[in-house]
Amino acid sequence: MKKTNIAWTEYSWKPITGCKHGCPYCYVKRFDPVMKPTFYANRLSEPQSIKKPSLIFTVNTGDMFGEWVPDQWIQDVLKVIRETPHHTYQLLTKNPIKMRDYDMPDNVWAGTTVCKQEDIYRIAMLKRVNAKTRFISFEPIKDFIRYDYWDGIDWAIVGAETEFNESTPKCELESKFFAKPLITSLTKANVPLFVKPNLRWYKKIQEYPKVAQDLFGELAIGR
Q: How confident is the model at residue 34 (pLDDT cuts 50, 70, 90)?
A: confident
What's the pLDDT at 26?
A: 80
Q: Hey, where are the domains in the chain? A: 7-213
Between 27-41, 50-64, 85-99, the lowest mean confidence (pLDDT) is in 27-41
- Percent of the chain whose pLDDT exceeds 70: 91
For residue 29, give the DSSP letter: G
Do the strands 38-39 and 55-58 form a parallel or antiparallel pair, or are they unpaired?
unpaired
Contact (CB, 8 A) for 84 and 48:
yes
What is the pTM assigned to this prediction? 0.92
Look at residue 76 and tell me whether its pLDDT is greater than 70.
yes
What's the pLDDT at 137?
A: 98
What's the pLDDT at 2?
A: 86
Between 38-47, 180-189, 204-213, the lowest mean confidence (pLDDT) is in 204-213
Domain 7-213 coded CATH 3.40.50:
no
Q: Classify each residue of 138-169 as buried b or exposed e, where b means 16 or more C-beta atoms within 10 Å of its C-beta.
A: bbbbbbebebeebeebbbbbbbbbbeeeeeee
The dihedrals phi and psi of 8, each to the nearest 5 degrees, come to: -100, 10
